[in-house]
Amino acid sequence: MGHMTFLASDTVSRRLGRFLGMILVIPFTCFRATHLTHHAKMCTSEDYELWPYCKPNYSIRFRKAFCLFDLLLGTISAPIIYSRVFWKRNSPLSQSEISAIKFEYLLSILFWGAIAFVVLYVSVTQIATPAQLSIWWIAPLAFAATLNTFRKLIEHVGLSSCDPLFGTRTVQPTNIIAKFISFGNFDLNLHGPHHRFGMAQHDELSDKLDQALHKQPAIGELVFHSYSGAAWHTLKCILKNPGVGEASVRDVTHEERVDEDRSNQS
């Protein structure tokens, strides 16, 4: 969706993105700007999408704590991560993008205000209780957010390279069920080719990976043929140091944090 290649029409893609962002409280313009920056500056300290895992001046302890928060409360962490490009001082966004984001936030406020009204109404009229509604609405949303967070972590966390093929884990499934799941997720698990060939259609990525492996066999160390294998490799990295790029190979000391704070204040 962030590449505007999901549908043939950019206008329809943008409207669909705004509709989904309205529900998730993630303005589509924020999401798109953050994701494009992720592709341009993958695993560097300027990678908005992988904050705070990309920050070498953050301690491992903080990144581990945020990783737990990210996994358990993805419905909250995702809007925080994707909105940073808007709220950050000296934002790189244009004035038209800022105006679009304000409009998209307004859509979310109106949508969730309407949801709150409906919940209040059905509670007062005893049509259903909030607990019953949460089973059908909040629980699936929270579960989906957790799965999406873990997918993001699998793609990059623990890898130090900023190269599109060496800074990503790629899952190229071999069994029919995993292939079906991959197709349903638009083959984002073929993440190395997704980064290297950002404008390629998802059904082209497997062939792109085979071509890349032929030219650079070393890529195969980060190509997994099952989600479980990639997940286990990621879990070990999370327990050790949930960082990417430079942040994955060092832990900032207290003295360095003090120096960083002083330089920011000066």
pLDDT at residue 127 tops 80: no
pLDDT at residue 195 tops 80: yes
Q: pLDDT tens, 141-192?
A: 888 888 889 999 999 999 999 999 999 999 988 888 878 878 877 888 899 9
Q: pLDDT tens, 200-230?
A: 788 888 889 899 899 999 999 999 998 889 9
Nearest to 33 by CA among 49, 14, 19, 12: 49
Position 8 scores a pLDDT of 62
Q: pLDDT tens, 72-121?
A: 999 999 999 999 999 988 889 999 999 999 999 999 999 999 988 988 88
Q: What is the mean pLDDT of the chain?
A: 86
The residue ranking higher by pLDDT, 55 or 202, is 55
pLDDT at residue 67 tops 50: yes
C-alpha 168/C-alpha 43 separation (Å) is: 9
| CA-to-CA dists, residue 255 to 49, 203, 210, 242, 246, angstroms | 27, 49, 46, 21, 18
Its pTM stands at 0.82
The residue ranking higher by pLDDT, 2 or 102, is 102
Q: What are phi and psi of 223, to 5 degrees?
A: -105, 120
Q: Residue 251 — very low, low, confident or very high, per pLDDT cuts 50/70/90?
A: low
Instruction: Sketch the domain layout of the chain as residue ranges.
Output: 10-260
Nearest to 224 by CA among 182, 179, 174: 174
Angle at 235 between CA 61 and CA 222, to 5 degrees: 120
Q: What average pLDDT does the segment 56-61 reach? A: 94
Q: What are phi and psi of 109, to 5 degrees?
A: -65, -45
